[in-house]
């Protein structure tokens, strides 16, 4: 398994990196995981409904949001600094898990990370993502090409949660939360990344 | 004729939406190239062409819903 920490990177640049890795993995390279953060970006999945955007697109651009149509499932979601974005590039044929099994494993990585910090979280087969009680801490939307996954999961570590007010995240009326919000203290992103890599190796290894 | 079927995506997913075809009827397709995009709630799933040839028939155009195992199209 290869790990790529791209730091803070534009959504489109990270997308191109993913697509290149998808070709490599489909041709037999080891599975990979990209870790990164994005500047303030709203992405619209294949199940996007206009009603889930509370502010007109033109105004959002004026407020500094980048707007992206993404070829993933799901509705609208927000990326911003302080959110750890995971893009697993996994060959589903080699991994021998169905789509739902893959999504569950992805959620499990976040559940295990949060457990390290003493937080009880869970995935949800009905409403995908990772939840702490009724609050959502991670959102999921994926793409698959040549049986290889791309796109992935956004996990809020120290994200400015007020940014979510411009959307109905994933089309759900839910409160978003973050690791720092739950702990009421700062957390180092590098520490989180190291833990995530460990859990990812174990869950997908 | 080689059939392009809605694959079993696992764990009880029974129905998918056809989001788009990357090729039109009559166009040449290359084995392993993405041919048709299916969408479930959280995933966009591109089905690769099983063989090289000509896309002869599309049975489910974009916007339609298909159940697992349905004949999406045919390559000859």
Q: How much is the ipTM here?
A: 0.85
Q: How many residues does chain A have?
A: 205
| Long-range contacts at A51-57 (CB < 8 A, ≥ 24 apart) | A51/A168, A52/A76, A52/A167, A52/A168, A52/A171, A53/A166, A53/A167, A54/A165, A54/A166, A54/A167, A54/A168, A55/A166
- Please provide residue A106's backbone torsions phi and psi, each rounded to the nearest 5 degrees: -60, -45
Do A110 and A61 form a contact (C-beta atoms < 8 A)? no
Q: CA nearest B19 in A: which residue?
A: A46
Q: Which residues of A touch B42 (CB under 8 A)?
A: 73-74, 103, 128, 140-142
Asked if the C-beta of A88 comes within 8 angstroms of chain B's C-beta atoms, the answer is: no
Per-residue pLDDT of chain A (205 residues; tens, 9 = 90+): 999 999 999 999 999 999 999 999 999 999 999 999 999 999 999 889 999 999 999 999 999 999 999 988 889 999 999 999 999 999 998 887 788 889 999 999 999 999 999 999 999 988 899 999 999 999 999 999 999 999 999 999 999 999 999 999 888 889 999 999 999 999 999 999 999 999 999 999 8
With H, G, I as helix, E, B as strand and everything else as coil, classify residue A100.
helix
Q: Which helix (H) or strand (E) holds A95?
A: helix A92-95
Is B12 a residue whose pLDDT tops 80? no
Asked if the C-beta of B63 comes within 8 angstroms of chain A's C-beta atoms, the answer is: no
Q: Which of B37, B44, B47, B50 to mutate to test the interface with A (most CBs of A within 10 A)?
A: B44
Measured distance CA(A204)–CA(A188) in Å, rounded:
24
Global pTM reads 0.93
Measured distance CA(A133)–CA(A130) in Å, rounded:
10
């Amino acid at each position: 398994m290869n790990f790529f920490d791209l730091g803070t990177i534009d959504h489109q640049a990270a997308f191109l990196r993913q697509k290149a890795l998808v070709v490599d993995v489909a041709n037999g390279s080891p599975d990979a995981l990209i870790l990164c953060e994005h500047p303030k970006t709203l992405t619209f999945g294949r199940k996007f409904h206009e009603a889930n955007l509370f502010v007109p697109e033109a105004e959002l651009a004026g407020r500094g949001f980048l707007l992206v149509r993404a070829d993933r499932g799901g509705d609208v979601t927000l990326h911003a600094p302080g959110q750890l974005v995971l893009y697993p590039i996994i060959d589903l044929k080699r991994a021998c898990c169905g789509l739902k099994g893959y999504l569950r494993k992805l959620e499990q990585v976040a559940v295990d990370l949060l457990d390290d910090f003493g937080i009880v979280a869970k995935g949800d087969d009905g409403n995908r993502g990772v939840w702490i009680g009724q609050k959502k801490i991670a959102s999921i939307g994926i793409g698959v090409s040549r049986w290889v996954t791309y796109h992935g999961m956004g996990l809020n570590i120290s994200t400015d949660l007020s940014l979510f007010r411009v959307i109905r995240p994933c089309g759900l009326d839910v409160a978003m939360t973050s690791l720092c919000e739950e702990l009421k203290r700062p957390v180092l992103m590098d520490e989180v990344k190291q833990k995530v890599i460990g859990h990812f190796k174990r869950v997908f290894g | 004729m080689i059939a392009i079927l809605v694959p079993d995506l696992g764990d009880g997913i029974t129905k998918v939406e056809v989001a788009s075809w990357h090729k039109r009827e009559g166009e040449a397709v290359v084995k392993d190239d993405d041919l048709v995009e299916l969408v479930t709630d959280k995933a966009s799933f591109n089905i690769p062409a099983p063989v090289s040839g000509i896309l002869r028939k599309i049975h489910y155009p974009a916007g339609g819903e298909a159940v697992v195992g349905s004949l999406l199209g045919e390559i000859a």
